[in-house]
Amino acid sequence: MTELGKRLKEAREAKKMSLDELQQITKIQKRYLIGIEEGNYPIMPGNFYVRAFIKQYAEAVGLDAEEIFHEYEHEIPRAQHEELPEQLSRVKSRKQISTKYDKWLALLPKVLMAAIVIGAAVMVWVFLQNRSSNEQSQSQPTNRATEVEQSKNSPLEKATEKQKQKKEKEKQQEESKTNESAATTFTVKETKGNTATIEVIASQFQLELTSKGASWVEVFNGKGHSFFKGTLKNGQTQSFDLTSETEVFVKIGRTLDVEMKVNGQPFTYPIDPSKVVYQKLKFIVKKS
């Protein structure tokens, strides 16, 4: 260990500072800090870094860096011979940049002239294309109008139009029948505690349960046959076609987290879910 290294280490230990803490303060790798204390300068990237690291080390442990450099000048390697090539390199780079910049300025007028010529040629080409397109469009309207008029008055066009009208009328009639058959009527017959009895009058009975959280659900008929029994997880949906059933029972552990639809219509719980969370629903299904 050199005298300088010993001096720096004693100052660090006097402040009760570990090498890891010094590394965090100076941002210098621990192995370089050990190298400074042991005078092992060859492991450093260069003499310039040796001097810079010693300066940071001294300031971190409360020593005057200038005084340290003056007192231990004979131990600290000089860095002038490294700085000179770096300065020469910078001067060379500046000259190269200046030369490239001058060449670019010399080429600039030629580049601008070429761009102007190309731009003018493109504008002339676009103008000629637009003019040709306009002339063609002006010569075609009369022929197109004649073709459209003949098409409208042709027997084939008339027959096609009648067929379209017929299909549209049939479609409207079908939609009307579908809406009538899908009509659903709910009547709450009884509510007692957490149990409600609802009469459903419809041509079909489609049940859909969607969970917004997590809730235990059970769906079964009047004969005890179970269609579903388990936990309905967040975002999960269960659908049932119960058209053939006359009685359907639904038990929901947490009605606040389960949305119900009957025949595609949102179903409102007869009992307020915010007051009664666990509910039992009995659906009496009657055909419309």
Instruction: Count how many residues are written for the chain.
Output: 288
d(CA 260, CA 209): 5
At the fourth CATH level, which superfamily is domain 3-78?
lambda repressor-like DNA-binding domains (1.10.260.40)
Ramachandran area for residue 62 (φ above 0: left; ψ -120 to 50: alpha; else beta): left
Estimate to the nearest angstrom the gap between the alpha carbon of 150 and the chain centroid: 56
pLDDT at 148: 45
Strand 185-192 and strand 206-211: pairing? unpaired
Q: Residue 180: what pLDDT?
A: 47
HSE, side-chain direction, 13 A CA sphere, residue 55: 9
The sign one gets for the Cα dihedral 22, 25, 28, 30 is positive
What is the predicted pLDDT for the residue at 144?
Answer: 57
Phi, psi of 213 (to 5 degrees): -145, -110
* Run means of pLDDT, 10 residues per run, the chain, 288 residues: 91 95 95 94 93 96 94 85 50 56 76 88 87 68 51 65 88 65 82 94 93 93 95 94 95 94 95 95 93
Query: What is the C-alpha separation between 201 and 181, in angstroms, rounded?
Result: 11
Query: Which CATH code fits 185-287?
Result: 2.60.40
> Is 0.85 topped by the overall pTM?
no
Terminal Cα distance for the chain, rounded: 103
**Residue 149: in which H helix or E strand, if any?**
helix 141-153
Q: Give yes or no for a contact between 110 and 38, defined as CB atoms under 8 angstroms apart.
A: no
